[in-house]
Every structure is written in C-alpha cells, then in structure tokens.
Structure 1
Amino acid sequence: MTPLSWRRTSAALVGALALTTGFSAVASPALANPVKATPVSVFPTDDLTVPDRGQLTGRRVALPTTDCGAPISCGLVQQLNQLDGFDLDPRIAVQYDAAVDPAQAAARITVQEARGGWRTGVDRVVWDPATNTLYAHPAEQLAPGTTYRLRVQGGPSNKGTQESFTTMSAPDGLLDLRRQIDSGSAFRSAGIAEPDLRVEGAFPATGTTVTWTQDQGATDVTAPVLIPQAATGGTVVFGSYLAPTWLTPDVTIPQTPTRDAGPAPVGQQRLPFVAVLPAGPPPPGGWPVAVFGHGFTANDTNVFLAAVANSRNGIATIGTNVVGHGYGPDSSYTVTSGGTTVTLPSYGRGVDQDGNGAIASTEGSSATGAAAAQSSRDALRQTAADVMTLIRSVGGTDVDGDGTPDLSGEDVTYFGQSFGGIYGTMLTGADPAVTRSVLNVPGGPITEISRLSPAFRPLTAAALQAAGLLNSTDPTRTFFQEQLPLRGEGPVTVTVPGAVAIQEYLARSTWLSRPGSPETFSPLIEPERVLFQIAFGDQTVPNPTSYTVIDAGDLWSRTSLYRNDKTANAANNPHAFLLQLPLPAALQGQAQVAAFLGRAEVIDPDGAGPVWEVPISDPDLLLSLNYPQPALRP
C-alpha cells in the first residue's frame, strides 16, 4: 500500500479544507443541512463503449461526438474513441439531483476491482455548483485492462448507484514496438539487414575541442561543446546507427487494435550517438555500457557532462538524440584534435513544423494538427524504441580499429535526466534488456508537468487557446484558471467560469497521452532494477508529478531525494543539478549513478549529511510544489 493511501480513508476527506497552491480555490464550507441528494449519472461507464473483438479488453470507447465543442476538442474525442478503455487515472464525474457537501459526498465514492478485493477512495475533488456535479480521481492509479466498479453510496434517505468501467491497455503500444524489435520484424519491415552502428570519429578527450554548427533553418549557429577533459579522460566517440521508425510526419504512431502486433514501421532513420570511453585498455569483451538519455531542449552532447563519474568507474557512456532535438538535419560537429580538424554530421532530428523557416531546439517532438492533444506521447514512445535499438547495437563495437571490442553489449544499463528520466521510466518498464536504471528528476504525466511548471505553463495556455478555452485576461495566471487541487488537498468549489471545461480538456488530453507517459510503466519495473533521484523544490518537473510516477509503481524504497533547500544554492531551481558540474551535488549525484549502474549498490552521496535522503524519509514531501508561486495565487 502506498504512503498516501494507507493514511487516507474516505472519512479523512470530510471537512478537509486545505490551503491552496495557487492552482486551486478553497472549497466552500460544508452545508449545514445538506439535501439528501441522489446521483443521477456517473462517469466513466462501460455504457460508453462498444464491443470490439480486436481489442484486448473486448471493448472500444464510444464517447458522443455531437456537441463536442471546438474542432480540436472534437478531434480529441475521435482519437479517444479508438482506445480500448478508460484512463488509468480517470476523471470521475457524479451528477446529483441537488447540492451536496463535496467532502461528505466524496467520502461515499469507491473504486473496486470487479474481480478481486482491491479498492480505493477518491482524491482531488472538485464541486461544480452550477451543474451539481462532483469530480474526483481515484486515490491510487488503476491497473490497465481491468474492469472496476465505481460505487456511489447513498445516505439514510437517498439511493446510491454503481457503474462498471474498463481501463485501457495503456502499456500495449510500446510493448508491441519492443516485441517487434526483439523478433527482428521491425528491422525487416524497415529494410535494416542487421544492426548498423558506425564509428565515424574517435578522439582523445584531452586536447580535443568540438564546435556544433546548428542547422536552425534559415540560419546556422555555431556553439562550443563542453567536454570536461580533465575529469572525463579516455576517448570521445561520434557515430550513428540505423533504427526503425514508426512516426508519421505529424509525429504520431498510428493506433491499431490492441490485439494486433502493433503498426509496422514506416521506415528507417540514421540516428546519431556520442560516447565517452574510460581511459586505458578495455576489459575483455569491452567496457560495460550505460546509455544516457538527455533532457528537453538538450542533445546528445550532454553525454560529455553526464559521463564524468562513469568514466572514473570504468563505465562507457553513450547517448542519442530525442525525436525533434539536435536542430535540423544539416547540423554538424567540427572536431579539432592533435592538430587535425574534421567535420562530422550530427544527424539533427529537428524539423520546421510550423513552416516559419526556423527550427527550434525541440521542434518536431510534439504532435501537430488534429493530433496536437497527444503532445509528445508518440515522440516519447519512438525515443524509447530508439534506445532499445541502440542497446541491441552496441555489443562488440570496435572503436580504435584494433580488432577487439571496446563496448560490451552485456548487461547494458541506463540513466536519464529530466525528459531522459521520463522516457527512461517508459524504457525500463517496457524493456527487460535494461539491466538497471537511474532516473533523474522524472515526472508525469506530461500534461501535469506543463500545467504546474512555471516554465511550461505557457504551453498549456497555447493548447487551451487553440481549443478556445482560455478563461482569463490576467497574464500572471497565464490567461487561464483551472481551479484544480493537488493530490492530498481538500475539495475545491468552482467559482471561475470556464474552469470546468479546462479541467475536462486537460483530463481527456492526459487520457489520450497515457500510453506514452512514465507513470503507466513504473508499475512494470522490478524495484531492484531502478533508482530514482528527485530534487526537492524542482520548478521544471514539479515534485507532485514525480510523486505520481513513483507512487504508481510503489517504488519509494528506491527513491533518493536531493535536498537543495539545505544547501547554499537553496534559492536556485535544482532541476539540472546532475549536469551542473561546478555544484557539489553534480558529482555526488553522478557517484550515486555510477555505484548503482556498475555495482547495483545504492549509496548515500553525503553519508550522514542532510543534503541527500536515501531513501526518501517522507514521500509526502513531494505532494507539495515546494517553491513559492505568488503570481499564480488567486
């Protein structure tokens, strides 16, 4: 049982009126003499599905398509109607024939497995007095492909009700891609005869300089690439490999019935890699390999920063670019070493999606057009599949041409920072070929990261604007007020017009994106295979989203907390600490990474010091944002 759920009983919600976080409004006081209201409709329900033998659940969603709102909202409904069930964290809606006390009503709602005794209450409660509707979410994430009973208990003088609903087979799509990779069918369909990893340049780290010419569309920009030579030592390597791709031009992977083997690849793509090898001769069979996953807006050269402790501990580090990253396809590296200068392609994956002549640092990593609500769902799934291919391609690689392998393909490990922690969670859950993983500052779902993070909240505003749902003129609130509570907070009563419509759009977008979201896959990870690193007060991937991912897999015993608030850098956003080498936390965090990847050992980087908690002392620390947001408070 998770740390929150074992303490939260349905009765604990009664009268709970927690302080707001700036994204919600305090609930109205409990009614002195609440009417004995009767529930008249409940969502989700399998009544809104149709039989479909092609689906693992035997069902397919069939939401009404009339009066579905703006075109983008109607398109969202049409995409949801391709799925084989409801969300793993569904937005429950219970409409009553009269007003209710929201806390008391929420205490009478439970979600229970139709076949089994598992059950949970509800949380994140919202009361809409305009329609007498109570909205909530299950207190714990539900299992995929499972039928549940949603029970609304009645009081002494009124009736209750119940409905059955089935959750979708959310992990199935990425699992299909992995099975295609393992069977070889993905490579055959993509026209790849065999793993084709090419070393295109290898240079001693010491004395080598690199500049990166970024193809930004109409403009080329040249920037230096930092290689911490003295710390890294060894050899830096540039190259590429072939991988099957399932992405269509709108950055989506076609939805197929879940009983199928998944869509066939639409082609192949040559992807970049950079690697750092430790100093000295490799052991027989080659250096053990750790794949590094870079963050949003970054690129594969972050490997140089991430490899310091690994290199000192005899681990080679390698990484590729995320979908839509690395700028345009004509980007290149200029490498100067030993008096010789060479130019190598960097295989940028960015594209000019909006047709404005410029390629931004992440352009091409999100869906476009009618599929925009899917956000980065399929780019994340494709990136996870790209790493699966890389893992299966590195074994036996001869970097220096002496006829002996420099990289081993045995027991490959993974670590990823930020976005790399997000798709790394998906990768680790879906692919048993990943021996161990360290997932640094991940969170989910992406829609919640975007909503809660000051850096990304404007992206949510842009999506809402496209759907015609902005409901504020106040730029300090990024032009929308959604009035949603965080997990563990008390009920919220809607007071702002348009807030309910925003809540519905966000819930449906999250539902659609769940197959490419990390919390979907964390329950598939065996605890001994993973270590999480979370930063207290992270303003980029807010702590409540990290809570969601870890709690979904009950992986609290595998969670390490970096207490930035107890350092001299407490005023700074700690999100990128792992790669900020001047900070003590960077090498401390990397030492923890190297110990776990290399020896399966979990160390406390500062011993008895206060900066690191290994494991986290109180998971509820992550329920709050843990940073001030005065501009967003009502």
Structure 2
Amino acid sequence: MSEPCKRPLRWAFPLVLPLALLPALALADGVAVRYDATASPFPSNRYTVPDFGNATLRRVSLPKPDCATRPSDCADIDVINTLDGFSTQPRITVPFTGDIDPASVNSDSIYLVNLGDVLTLRGFGDKVGINQVVWDPASKTLAFTSDELLQERSRYLLVVTNGVRDAQGKKLKSADFLGGGAGHTRELRDALPMARGSGRNVVAASLFTTQTATGDLLKVQRRIKSSTPAPVNFMIGNGGAVRAVFPVSGLQGIQFNRQTGSAPAFTPGLLPTPALQVVPGAVGHVAYGRYESPEYQNAAKVIPATDTLTGTPRPLGSQSLVFQLFLPSSPKPAGGWPVALFGHGFTDSMYGAPWTVASVFASQGIATLSINVVGHGGGALGTLNVLPTAGAPVVVPAGGRGIDQDGNGSIDSTEGVNAAAPQTIVSSRDGLRQTVIDLMQLVRQVEAGIDVDGDGTRDLDPNRIYYAGQSFGGIYGTMLLGVERNIKAGVPNVPGGSITEIARLSPSFRILTGLSLATRQPVLLNLPPTAQLPVPLNFNENIPLRDQPPLVNNVPGAMAIAELLDRNQWVQQSGNPVSYAALIRQNPPQGHAAKPVILQFAKGDVTVPNPTTSAIVRAGGLQDRVTQFRNDLAFAANPGVPKNPHTFLTNIAIPAAAPYAVAAQSQIAAFFASNGALVIDPDGPGPLFEVPIQGPLPEGLNFIP
C-alpha cells in the first residue's frame, strides 16, 4: 500500500486542542461509515471493560452470539475475553452505509496513529499505514490489516478520512462516531486532535488498545534466573545404574523405541548415528541427562491467564525432562565447551535434526544440546537402547512428551502440543511458550554448571551459550532469543509467523486449517472438494498477500473465514515469534543486551512460506541479518535438489543438497565460534547464498512449480 507506513506525526495538534477547532464535518453527500447497534469499526475499546490489574488497564469483553447455534464462536470468545487488549496485527473492519470505491483506499485515506504505550507513552505519534485491503460488496464492509506489527499494550486511533470515496467518486460524509450510538467515550474525543493530516477531513474514527504479548515469558524468565536449580542427573541408564554418557567411537548403534500407542505400543527404529560423521571424528560423546523444569500448562495444555500488570504466571508443578548432548572430540577449553541449544521442527524430535548438525558444530568446538518440544518425541514410556561395540546394552529413557490427547489409543508425532477443546483457539500458543520456558530452565542449568563425566568440574561454558533451530525450532527459538538474556547469539532457520498464517499459506499444512473449519459449529468450509483436496476440507478465505491492490471479494463465506483466522492469530500472539522479534536487537528488554543473529531462510519454502518469514524480519528490523538460500537457482542447476527447500539446513542424506546443508551449518558454526562476530557467506562469491539478502523481502510465495 502507499507510503508512509510509519513516521512521527509532525503535523499532529496537541491533545489539549479544543474539540471546537477540529475540522468541520464533511459537507458533501455520500456514503458514511456505519455506527449502529449491529455494525461499527472493529477493533474498538467499546468492546472492553476496565481492569486495573492489566497493563492495558482494560480487558476485552466481546458480546456472545446465540451459543445454541454458534457454540464454536462462544467457546472462542470465552478465551478472547481473558485478553487485555486487541491483536497487535489486527484485521480491521469498517462497515459502510453504501458502496465505496476500493481504489480510493490507501495509507493516506485510512491510517492508524499510535497514542503510546499505556504505561510509558513509548511510540506516541507514530503513524501506521494499512495493507491487504479487501472490499466486500455484499456486506458493504472494508477489511484490511495494519501495515506493520503494532506496538503491544498501546492505544491506537483508527482514522478514516474523506479521501475514501463512494462508488460515484463522492467524498464520504461524516459519521456520528461521537454520538451515543457509537458508544465511544471521552477517551476517543480527547484523541481526535491526533487524527489530522494529509489535508483531508476526518469522517470516522475508532480507538483501541493492543494486547500484552511478551510479558508472561519475561516474568517467567526473571523467576527462573532467581532460582538455583538442582544439578542435572546423568545417572539415568538402566534405571539409574549407569551414567548415560557414551563415546561415539564405541557405538554400534542406538535403537529408539518410540511409544506410539497408549496401550502401550512402541515403534522401533535406529537413530542416525552415521550423521555424526559428516566431519569424521568431530563428535566425541553423546550423553543423556535429566533436569527439572517448571510446568505452567494445565491438563488442557493451556497456561492459565493472569493479570498482565499485577499478576505473575505460576508454575502448576514440575516436569522431569531428558536432554541430549553431543560433545566435541577436541580438548575441552578451560571454561568448558561453548554450547548451542538446537531446536527441532514440527513432527520431528531431538532424535532427528540435532543429529544432522552436531558434527559440523563439533568441528568448531561447539557442543549441541537438545530437548523434545511439548507434544513431540512419542509417549513418555519410550526408550533408547544404546548398543555399544563392546559390553552390554544400556536402556535410557527417551524423554517423549506426546500424549494420547484425543483418546483414540495412538500418540501422534505432535499430539499434546495444541490446547484441547473447548479452548482449541489457543492452538500451539502455550505448547510453544512452555517449550521456551523449558529451554530457559536448561540455560539456567548450564549457568549453574553441568558436569557430564562426573569429575567435579563443569563441562559446558556458561558464558558461551548459543541457540539455533529449524522450522518450529526457529519459531520458538525466535521467542527464546527475545526473552532469554544469557544466550549470546542465535540463528533461527526457516522460521515463520504466525502459525495461523503458516497453516493458511502452506500447501503442507493448509489441510489442517480446513479441518479446523470443518469441525466448527456451524461449519465454515465454503468450497467443494477438488482433485488437490479430495476430502471435503476445501475453502477460500480470499485474503490478498501484502502490497497487492485492493481486492473485491466475490467468494461467499470468505469474510467469515477471514474473521476466524484473525481471531486465531489474536489469541495466539503471545506464542507468535513476530511478537518477540524486536526484543532480540531492536528493543531489548531492560537489562538485556542486543543479540547478534543470523536469520536463514530459503526462497520458495513450501512448508513455511516466505511471507511468514518476512513478517519476522520486518517486525525485528532484521533485514541486514538475513541469509537467503536461492533454492530456485540451485534447483535450476541440479534437479536433484528438492523443490521444497524447507530442510536445506539438514538435507545431508540427499547427495545434490548435502553440500548446501553443510555450507549453511558451517555459517552457523563459524558465527558461534566467533561469539557472534563473524558472518561468512556459505558459498563465497557464488550466487546461491545471499548474505545479506539482496533486494526487498519476499512477500510472494515463490514456489517452484
């Protein structure tokens, strides 16, 4: 959409400007913005109530529909009404009394003004444009998103000017947005002097307050830092009789007996021990230990809401977690080995991706440390059967965190990461946040000292802790980098946000969005099955990508789907990496230093589409830290390279792709070995890695046909 997206309002009048000096109401005939009992601009603080326990000083209070006919909406609103404000990436809707000209809608005719953080006034006066504009003629409703992520716990004024024209080209006439029917208070009246600009009259306005998104994890981080944890326990082999530390040179293999059924039932398989020889002999030992982490999720896999100003999330218990550690074969430095926490992806476990990077990391003297994500790694009864080349096997608990959440007898690869009904709108928000908490606790264990071999000295350097993670690991890793102060540098690989947007745009996950629409009451699917989606899970939400011209919606049911997707994203913002990106470098929390980072991604990622990665980069001001892998060029040069580059970091088993995987891993290893000072180009002067990315951020999908 048109410039500018964000700039100080140098033309703003002081807040004390008398209302009488505001521009006269537009005199021209024409269409107006609707303000009545059934329709008005949204979001709006008219749908909140005072709550002085919250950092926003309010709480959302949406009215419910008929819960007998729309039970899914009512269940969602029960969760929404625990929030302290509106989405920081809102889908804004403005209803009109008649038809308008969508071509007249841009960031000059409609915009947002930041009235500042509720507690500090930070951001006061910034102007924010709009994007992804949709005009729905059937309901005479205009929908759009803010052009950027809005600042959390802040007030925003939505301004509609007479630069928007009706279908005949006439200026809009002013709506009675300050009348009793509008439901607005003195707060909106006092904010209106901030609305002037562009030489156009204000014909409608609304005021809303954004939610607190990052506060809970920052409070938990401070709680963890104030505690002294018990030492980690490596005596977990054969029921506590054997120290679970094994030399790689003495390994015949490791069998993973994954619990896949609640009966219980198990599925055996071998761990990829050959992956440790990408750099031959670099990994000296693999070890398994156990530590205690605070459990903040309840049985429904939800972290209960607490007041965002006066409250603090409280642990509901603790959980015993198993971690996996790869130690380099090189001599241990005096302070211990530098260590990289590595986060695995969705459906994966610590027995997948971490194995593929450990060898290259170890070749630079860096240990690799991993845990299973909430809901991943199979059930808790799974085991590892470690088979040495000499001596008896050793059985080690595998640390699975999956559960039979739906009661069907099986434990799927991600079962337990999402919230249970009726709070399904929470989705993976709290599974992601709990995983971040578990990793913060693991960082605290490294700080306290981890003695792997039992000789009484620390083996990991508490002053050189790093983080890298792939896909889902890049998502919760971005969150972790924003809130954990003692991680020195990080590399999220192919992250994206929000989860709602990933599931909407990705062919790999779109069927999951369809399933959620199919299971609602009433059902929201609006298209018949196709050859690509033969099961009845087809839908069209008709939402344009960023920076496209206004779209005129002609798809029945699309607006209702778009509203649901917006509500999902709203509820899940505290589990969205986009919310935490600015904390990494641009605006670190108090007491935190800005972190050096590299964000690696690939053009044309099918699993985590490029626009969702660009959202993180834009929110964090990280464009100069982006490394882009040009998979389009790699595939054109060699069709043996996968069309979907999502796993380019870990594709060591695919001959055509393995060199690029090792190159990307080497960039991470060199970055950590230099304590975040050195960023190498993985292919030097070659064209396949752009360091940093050349040209604008990709807002298209860029899939290879």
The TM-score, its normalising length taken from structure 2, stands at 0.82
Report SS of the residue matched to 1:489. Answer: coil
One-letter code of the match for 1:419?
A: F
Percent of residue pairs identical = 42
Report SS of the residue matched to 1:610. Answer: coil
CA contact 2:276–2:359 (8 Å) conserved in 1: no
Deviations 1:406-446 (A, max 9, x none): 22222311110000000000001111121111000000000
For 1:446 and 1:503, the matched residues in 2 are separated by 15
Deviations 1:214-239 (A, max 9, x none): 11114211101002233243111112
CA contact 1:38–1:154 (8 Å) conserved in 2: no
408-417 or 67-76, which moves further after superposition? 67-76
CA contact 1:275–1:303 (8 Å) conserved in 2: no
Picking from 518, 540, 543, the partner of 1:465 is: 518
Report SS of the residue matched to 1:596. Answer: helix
1:284, CA displacement in angstroms?
1.0
Deviations 1:553-584 (A, max 9, x none): 11101111011111125552110111111411
Q: Which runs of 5+ in 2 are unaligned?
A: 8-27, 35-39, 117-123, 164-170, 175-202, 237-243, 587-594
Equivalent position of 1:406 in the other structure: 459
1:51, CA displacement in angstroms?
0.7
* Compared CA separation, residues 251 and 164, structure 1 to 2 (3 A): same
One-letter code of the match for 2:302?
A: T
1:216 aligns with 2:269: no
Report SS of the residue matched to 1:501. Answer: helix
CA contact 1:197–1:394 (8 Å) conserved in 2: no
1:73, CA displacement in angstroms?
1.6
* Compared CA separation, residues 382 and 147, structure 1 to 2 (3 A): same
What does 1:154-553 correspond to in 2, within 5 Å?
Answer: 154-155=162-163, 156=171, 158-159=173-174, 160-184=203-227, 194-198=230-234, 200=236, 201-208=244-251, 209-217=253-261, 218=263, 219-227=265-273, 228-230=275-277, 231=279, 232-301=282-351, 302-340=353-391, 341-395=393-447, 396-467=449-520, 468-475=523-530, 476=532, 478-526=537-585, 528-553=595-620
CA contact 1:251–1:379 (8 Å) conserved in 2: yes
1:110 aligns with 2:98: no
Which structure's CA Rg is the greater one? 2
1:325, CA displacement in angstroms?
0.5
1:321, CA displacement in angstroms?
0.4
One-letter code of the match for 1:585?
A: Y
Equivalent position of 2:50 in the other structure: 51
For 1:101 and 1:503, the matched residues in 2 are separated by 21
How many residues are paired up?
A: 595
CA contact 1:199–1:237 (8 Å) conserved in 2: no
Equivalent position of 2:18 in the other structure: none
For 1:417 and 1:554, the matched residues in 2 are separated by 20
* Compared CA separation, residues 157 and 266, structure 1 to 2 (3 A): closer
CA contact 2:257–2:269 (8 Å) conserved in 1: yes
CA contact 1:210–1:334 (8 Å) conserved in 2: yes
CA contact 1:365–1:379 (8 Å) conserved in 2: yes
Report SS of the residue matched to 2:453. Answer: coil
CA contact 1:195–1:242 (8 Å) conserved in 2: no
For 1:628 and 1:338, the matched residues in 2 are separated by 45
What does 1:7-156 correspond to in 2, within 5 Å?
Answer: 36-40=30-34, 41-67=40-66, 70-107=70-107, 108-115=109-116, 116-155=124-163, 156=171
Report SS of the residue matched to 1:214. Answer: strand
The TM-score, its normalising length taken from structure 1, stands at 0.91
CA contact 1:39–1:161 (8 Å) conserved in 2: yes
CA contact 2:130–2:147 (8 Å) conserved in 1: yes
1:242, CA displacement in angstroms?
0.9
Relative contact order, higher structure (CA 8 A, sep 6+)? 1
Equivalent position of 1:23 in the other structure: none
RMSD over equivalenced CA pairs, Å: 2.0
1:308, CA displacement in angstroms?
1.8
Deviations 1:11-35 (A, max 9, x none): xxxxxxxxxxxxxxxxxxxxxxx99
Equivalent position of 1:585 in the other structure: 660
For 1:7 and 1:254, the matched residues in 2 are separated by 39
* Compared CA separation, residues 195 and 150, structure 1 to 2 (3 A): farther
Equivalent position of 1:603 in the other structure: 680
* Compared CA separation, residues 8 and 171, structure 1 to 2 (3 A): closer
For 2:336 and 2:650, the matched residues in 1 are separated by 26
Report SS of the residue matched to 2:463. Answer: coil
Equivalent position of 1:626 in the other structure: 702
CA contact 1:536–1:565 (8 Å) conserved in 2: yes
Equivalent position of 2:624 in the other structure: 557
CA contact 2:463–2:486 (8 Å) conserved in 1: no
1:181, CA displacement in angstroms?
1.2
578-587 or 415-424, which moves further after superposition? 578-587
For 2:561 and 2:622, the matched residues in 1 are separated by 31
For 2:334 and 2:510, the matched residues in 1 are separated by 50
* Compared CA separation, residues 67 and 487, structure 1 to 2 (3 A): farther
* Compared CA separation, residues 207 and 573, structure 1 to 2 (3 A): farther
1:404, CA displacement in angstroms?
2.7
For 1:607 and 1:97, the matched residues in 2 are separated by 59
One-letter code of the match for 1:57?
A: T
One-letter code of the match for 2:679?
A: V
532-541 or 335-344, which moves further after superposition? 335-344
